[in-house]
Amino acid sequence: MASTVFERLPPPPAAVDASLSGTRRGVFWLEDAPATRYPALTAGIPADLAVVGGGYLGLWTALRAKQRRPDATVVLLEAKTIGWAASGRNGGFVEASLTHGHENGASRFPNEMDTLTRLGRENLDRMEATVAELGLDCEFERNGSLAVATEPHQVKWLSEASGTGEGDFLDEAAVRSLVDSPTYLGALRSARTSALVHPGKLAAELARAAAAAGVQIFEHTKVSALNRTAEGVELSTYFGTVRADQVALATNVFPSLLARNRLMTVPVYDYVLMTEPLTAEQLASIGWSGREGIGDAANQFHYYRLTAENRILWGGYDAIYHRGGRVRPAYEDRPETFRRLASHFLTTFPQLEGIRFSHRWAGAIDTCTRFCAFYGTAGRGRIAYASGFTGLGVAATHFSADVVLDLLSGQSTELTELELVRSRPLPFPPEPAASIGIQATRWSLDRADHSDGRRNLLLRTLDAVGLGFDS
């Protein structure tokens, strides 16, 4: 097999060692966000709507519910603290796509892709407007994005994508005039379909806005069971029962309270490094004055962006599934992955040799077989849910909050009539088949990256049955 640029141009091992020498395990975004805390539930209470989960989906759903009906009693229950999981650990990329990219969406929803594209762009515009209207201090930047080619076959892919209206193709000289990396051979530039945000601050600010609107937020309140009654739904917690007319489930990667959804998602671990702030000289050496969010075009891709104080977040590439589908803190520290990420960073920006990474962390992504969110109801329409965002949920959760509330309304709307909303992906098989299939797929994607993008029989079969994915 052919080598990739990260193998052809590795940095000196000593440079990798030095870059990681001061790194500590900790989520930069959560440390840098306001330390606001909410009480735990201490007794049973009634609610018109109970939201389970204090990440983006739960927060947007609770906030929008109060905006729609200010007199409603809305209760939000979080097992730990607001935004501590995926919502506080992601890269902060706010994408217009609701389908994890145009090709992924077009292959699954060909008859409504134009509609989904429009709705996704409208959603990003509305999210930007809401951030401004509510005064959410979350470092929202509408800078656009660059998808960069680091191998010759990727140049062709990006050039073809420009023909579908996904962005403007840039040749090597053009992209390196924006961001200077010797690995860049071309790029697809999208000016308005992407933004950046501070993930931890967004979660904290959404909670603040929701509380100000009258949402009752309870942290350290794990829901252990869901029971349907003649009057509504009962949610059991350690200190009491929440009796709700309606329930919105926003539990992301964690086991669903609905048995029907237990095999619909699997947790895949994603890993991230954060540099110290760049000096003015270091930043000038790479350019990046446009502050675009960047991702490369490989199957195993990197994503990276600048923070407000000019740190570089660098993540991706390895996507690790652990047999059994468990979410455990021990899975978050994987030295071989952090070393690989540091090496790839210095290959991308050799002019930054000598920089150090201050933070390393990981988080679990709720992956489903169609790689974008799915929706549904239960309990005769009293329960609604969304899940399976597959790493692209920062903006999609804003959209999904309205989907969930429309579903709970029982009325037919443009959103509830979408095939995206009405259909369900295939579930993952139980173990050990799930682990075998996921590991085989990951191996095949890596092999494709080392074979000029050529997909083997397994990937072609998955494509044919609607389970394939091309980042």
pLDDT at 168: 94
- Mean pLDDT highest for which of 1-10, 329-338, 444-453? 329-338
Residue 217 pLDDT exceeds 90: yes
Write out pLDDT tens, residues 158-169. Answer: 999 887 777 999
Structure tokens at 328: 């455990």
**Band (447; pLDDT cuts 50, 70, 90):** confident
Kindly report which listed range (390-394, 410-414, 428-432, 453-457) carries the lowest average pLDDT score.
453-457
Q: Report yes or no: 26 and 338 within 8 Å, Cβ to Cβ.
A: no
Phi-psi region of 94 (alpha: psi -120 to 50; beta: other; left: phi over 0): beta
Each domain of the chain, given as residue ranges in start order, spans 5-31+145-191+266-367, 38-128+198-264+371-422
CA distance 270 to 272: 7
Write out pLDDT tens, residues 227-267. Answer: 999 899 999 999 999 999 999 999 999 999 999 999 999 99
Q: Report yes or no: 448 and 470 within 8 Å, Cβ to Cβ.
A: no
Burial of residue 273, with CB atoms counted within 10 A of its CB: 0-12 exposed, 13-18 middle, 19 or more buried: buried
Pure H helices in 109-238: 113-133, 152-162, 172-178, 199-212
**Band (16; pLDDT cuts 50, 70, 90):** very high
Q: Report the length, in residues, of the chain.
A: 471
- Mean of the per-residue pLDDT values for the chain? 94
- The class level of CATH for 38-128+198-264+371-422 reads alpha beta
Residue 470 pLDDT exceeds 60: no
Write out pLDDT tens, residues 292-347. Answer: 999 998 888 999 999 999 999 999 999 999 988 889 999 999 999 999 999 999 99
Share of the chain above pLDDT 90, in %: 83
Residue 471 pLDDT exceeds 60: no
Pairing of strands 302-306, 293-296: antiparallel
- The class level of CATH for 5-31+145-191+266-367 reads alpha beta
pLDDT at 467: 64
Write out pLDDT tens, residues 17-63. Answer: 999 999 999 999 999 999 889 999 999 999 999 999 999 999 999 99
CA distance 164 to 182: 27
Write out pLDDT tens, residues 72-94. Answer: 999 999 999 999 999 999 999 99
Task: Identify the CA nearest to 161 among candidates 182, 145, 141, 143.
Answer: 145
Instruction: Enumerate helices (H) and strands (E) in the chain, giving the number of each.
Output: 16, 19
Write out pLDDT tens, residues 374-389. Answer: 999 999 999 999 999 9
Share of the chain above pLDDT 70, in %: 98
Torsion over CA: 306, 307, 311, 314 (sign): negative
Residue 381, CA atoms < 13 Å, CB-side half-sphere: 9
CA end-to-end span of the chain: 21
**Band (1; pLDDT cuts 50, 70, 90):** low
Mean pLDDT of 190-213: 97
Write out pLDDT tens, residues 350-369. Answer: 999 999 999 999 999 999 99
Distances in Å between the Cα of 439 and the Cα atoms of 126, 392, 398, 412, 448 are: 39, 21, 32, 40, 14
The domains spanning 5-31+145-191+266-367 and 38-128+198-264+371-422 adopt the same CATH topology:
no
